[in-house]
């Protein structure tokens, strides 16, 4: 609880509503997972809504709450 009191509003929002990226098809998609020629940055996958109904037991996801990255791997 003490840690949450010291967080900024942005950090608090990520703690309560983390960013979720589906990474199952990295390397098989032309839309992300490569370096952008203009910015020289790696293109990230689209964010998924933070809902259990959007997750599948047969795929892999990265969950980012601003402090830790969690790899969630299905069956």
What is the distance between the alpha carbons of residues 33 and 54, in angstroms, rounded to a whole number? 21
What is the distance between the alpha carbons of residues 11 and 36, in angstroms, rounded to a whole number? 27
What is residue 67's predicted lDDT score, i.e. its pLDDT?
Answer: 84
Six-digit token string for 49 = 């809504």
Sequential pLDDT tens for the chain (75 residues): 566 677 777 777 777 788 888 888 777 767 777 788 888 888 878 788 877 777 788 888 898 888 889 998 987
Torsional sign, CA 22, 33, 68, 1: negative
């Amino acid at each position: 609880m003490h840690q949450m009191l010291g967080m900024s509003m942005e950090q608090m929002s990520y703690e309560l509503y983390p960013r979720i990226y589906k990474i199952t098809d990295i390397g098989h998609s032309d839309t992300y997972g490569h370096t952008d020629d203009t910015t020289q940055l790696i293109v990230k996958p689209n964010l998924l809504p933070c809902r259990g109904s959007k997750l599948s037991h047969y795929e892999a996801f990265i969950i980012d709450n601003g402090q830790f990255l969690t790899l969630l791997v299905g069956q």
